Structures are given as C-alpha cells and as structure tokens.
Amino acid sequence: MLLAFDTSMAACSAAVYDSARMRVLAARFAMMERGHADALAPMIKSVMDEAGIAFPDLTRIGVTRGPGTFTGVRTGIAMARGLALALDRKIVALDTLAAIAANAPKDKTPLVIAADARRDEIYFSAQGAAPIVLPVKEAVHRLPLEQSFILGTGAEALIAAAPEGRLIRLTAGNLPDARNFAVLCATYPVSDDPPEPLYLRPPDAKPQHQGGKSAAQIAIRQASVNEAQVLSALHAECFDNAWGAAEFAKLMAMPGAAAYLALEADEPLAFLLARQAAGEAEILTIATRPFARRRGIAGKLMSHLAHELREAGLVQLFIEVAADNSAARALYEGQDFTVTGKRKAYYEMPGGRREDAIVMMKALA
C-alpha cells in the first residue's frame, strides 16, 4: 500500500494506491492558492479512512519535491519525512513536472510540460527530461521537432511563443494529482536519504528586475504552527546557526507567541516570530531572504506587529541584536527602537567567540 500526496503548486491532493491490485483505493484533489499546511493532514486522514487502511499498513510514502512554491514544496516534504520517520518507511520523491505528465493519456506523445514560474519564465520538461527553468522564448528552441502535446499552467504562454500549430493543448490537468501520479511512486525506486526540495531557481539568486521594488507589493499574514518547517527553512537561509522545525513549532505553540510571514505572490520572503507576556512583547527572531533585502520588508513586518500589539493593549516591544550587527541596529533604530541595555558575551559566534547582545526597546503607547 502506498500513500501519495502533493502540495507543491496551486492544489493539494492525496491518494491511497494498492500496488498489488494496481488501483487507487481513495483520492482527493482540491484547488488552493494557500492553506496547504492546514489542508494536507485532514485530506490524508480522509483518504486513509475511505480506503480502510491503517498507517502501519503502508509500505512506502510518495511525494512531489518541486519545482513549485517555496511553502508548498516544504509542506509536502515535511509531511513525508514525518510519516516516514514515524512508520519507519521509505519515501519516493518525484519532480512536479513528472507528476503533471501523469495526467496525460499514454498515447499523447511527444509530451511537453510547462508550468508557470513567474517572471516570464516556465518550469519546462519535454519527453520526460529533468525539469529546468528558463524564459518562455528560450523554451521554444527546446521543443521536440515534431508536433507535440502540452500540459501545465505555463502552456498558453509557450503556445503563444511557439510557431502556430506546433503545440496541441491538452486539458487532462495542469497540476499534480496524486490519483494519477501514485502509480509512478509505486514503481520509482525508493531512497535511503530523505528527499530534498527541488527549486531550480536558487533561493539567493536576485532577479534582474528586482531592483527598485518596494514593500508595497508584500502581503503580511500570520503563520500557523503547521508552517514551522517553512520558518525553519527561511531561518537557515539567513543564519549560520539555524533553528530546526521542531524548535520553531515549540516556540510558536507557546502562550502569547505569534509568527508572521511576508509574502510576494505567495512566495515567502521574510518572517518574524514574537512572544508577549505581562504587557510587553519580544521579537525572538526576524529574517529576510538575502535576495529580498533592502526593500523595507522587515520594517513592514515590525510595523504590522507593533500595530497588532497596540490593538492588544501592550506598551513595550523588545528585541536583542548582536553588538557588531550595525545593519540590523540601524533598521531597528529606524523603527523607533532605542538601546536600553547590554548582555555581555550573550551570543556564541563561529570559532567559539562570544558577542555582546544589545537590548533595544520600542514604546508602543
């Protein structure tokens, strides 16, 4: 028995597949731009209950590993790792474009998959090749020589750029559906190593047109405990001593804790984790991904937090910063934080060196 699921793009799906009888016992599919972390566990329970299968009966776990959205890819992989660890089972991870290709009828060849990657780019795969990310106009030159079929959320853009009649649009499904790709997970080889996300575009690669953007396009929303893995991944991009997902989950579950994500087109660019007690609040950690810095995103997060705290009647907000982190101190001073104290040798730095912590406070009343 195999459990397969996907959260990598604008949908969430799960299926239970009987490898011996080669058929799907239960499946669910739901379109969603966000909320995958909250939807996945109930969806998995639903298909397991309908199939009449207990978790110990599973022989392997199948999951997509990207490309896709940062949050979505992480959500699926975190669930797969958790189940595999609890059940002592192996994971089969396949790329998202292979999962989309599973939607197409077997006789529709050659098959091209084009998924929207934004920035006038697509995630591209032709005839089952490994996915790549590239501009739409460049993808035209990588099409099979003969007339081909195409699926994916980037299909229209590629059809428009290609010579007329070169591509035939299929309507079998533009997003991964566990009902269809579960059979691939049953036949793919398992790995002893846990799956790693496949993003294709490096997380610290700054887009050419990124310069000049402001925080006006950034949306702020509260993060749930189910998104601890996402916060952990963002933290790892920004700090040498990264906090693990379990540590984030524990902190986020504490009374008075609140975490916020800053997103652009559903892609998380920054986060903030704070805790409040006795009329005061403290920012435990705040970080912006390297390529998204100097756009005022961290300031927008702190302003949002300050507003929420004022509404709740709190009067002071604290934060600690390494004494030699002049950039962060300047940011906090720009948010009306002032120095109120120092903690000697508070931070442990690489090489065993200790660094003072500067305590800063912002009056909210």
Q: What is the block-wise mean pLDDT of the chain (365 residues), using blocks of 10 residues?
A: 96 97 97 90 97 96 93 90 92 96 96 92 93 93 95 97 96 96 94 84 46 72 88 84 86 94 88 91 93 91 95 93 90 94 82 86 91
Q: Catalytic residues, which ones?
A: 320, 332
CB 77 within 8 A of CB 37: no
Give strand pairing partners of 167: 148
Q: What is the pLDDT of residue 215?
A: 67
Q: What is the pLDDT of residue 350?
A: 67
Query: Residue 105, by phi and psi: left (phi above 0), alpha (psi -120 to 50) or beta?
Result: beta
CB 18 within 8 A of CB 50: no
* Domains in the chain, CATH or no CATH each: 2-98+175-187 (3.30.420.40), 104-169 (3.30.420.40), 215-363 (3.40.630.30)
Between the two ends of the chain, the Cα-to-Cα distance in Å is 59
* DSSP state string for 41-53: HHHHHHHHHHHT-
